Amino acid sequence: MNRTIILWRLASFAVAAGFIALWQLIANLKLVSPVFLPGPDRAWAALVHGFSSGDLCSKLIGTLEHMAYGWLAASIAGVAIGAMIGSSRLMRTYVAPSLEFLRPLPVSAIIPVAIAMLGLTQGMALFVIAFGAIWPIMLATIHGFAAVEPRLYEITRSLQMSRLAVIFKIALPSASPDIIAGMRLSLTVALILSVVCEILAGLDGLGHWVLLSARSFRSADLFAGVILLGVMGYATSLAMAVAENRLLKWQRVGH
């Protein structure tokens, strides 16, 4: 059983390698102008060169920092605000509908407003990333709080638990799958907004790197940056999946 899975994986890697070979062939035959499409060999060389000179490394760390700070701020604020709204019937009637109305707003539209308020600064990027990443987390928290088994709430009433105790002992643990799913969604949002903010504000990061490479037609550097962004997206979502597995283990044990 296990061996077949490994064999399929290997076959799948072989197919991916085939696509890369095809890409190399197209680049070698110059079917597409090399100004736009460098071969994988040139992209790889640019990647290695960028890392050995330390340039790409600092850009990578820059983007990671923007993304991580914004996402962490959004996670903390999103869970706190979501818990506040979700645990109160009054807030759920009066505040939650307004939030639902704001949800489909393309969050990048807030960027000009943030620029007008904060200028082209790190603070602006942080605000935009946190603002964009907060929605999935906050709405998931509200939803998770609303979906808690009603009998658990009855128990808290008969035990006369305080509101804080209810939130920390009952509602948060039972809403944690929703919250973590929301955090995973907003990770993608945070990465996209980091790149956009770097492009617009010229902040140190991969977004700025790919734009500069494009402006000066260094397509190999450009592809290296894009590949690195893909790796980042993959690595962060993988890390999130591992964390989710760890954190929610107790839930599966009970059933």
Binding site for another protein (CB under 8 A): 8-9, 11-13, 15-16, 19, 35-36, 93-98, 101-102, 104-113, 115-117, 188, 191-192, 195-196, 199-200, 206-207, 210-211, 213-214, 217, 219, 222-223, 225-226, 229-234, 237
Shortest Å distance, C-beta 68 to another protein? 15
Half-sphere exposure of 124 (CA within 13 A, CB side): 21
Least Å distance, CB 108 to another protein, is 4
Nearer to another protein, 16 or 159 (CB): 16
Question: How do the residues of the chain divide into helix, strand and coil, expressed in percent and rounded to 5?
Answer: 85, 0, 15
Cβ 169 to another protein shortest distance, Å: 30
In the bound state with another protein, the residue whose beta carbon lies nearer, of 142 and 170, is: 142
- Cα separation of 82 and 95, whole Å? 11
Nearer Cβ to another protein, position 161 or 199? 199
Structure-token pair, residue 34: 């090399």
CB nearer to another protein: pick between 20 and 77: 20
**Shortest distance in whole angstroms from residue 77 CB to another protein:** 19
| Long-range CB contacts for residues 39-45, cutoff 8 Å, separation at least 24 | 42/219, 42/220, 42/223, 43/220, 43/223, 43/224, 43/227, 44/224, 45/220
Longest CA–CA span in the chain (Å) reads 76
How near is the Cβ of 124 to another protein at its closest, in Å? 11
| 157: Cα within 13 Å, side-chain hemisphere | 5
Closer CB to another protein, 166 or 224, in the complex: 224
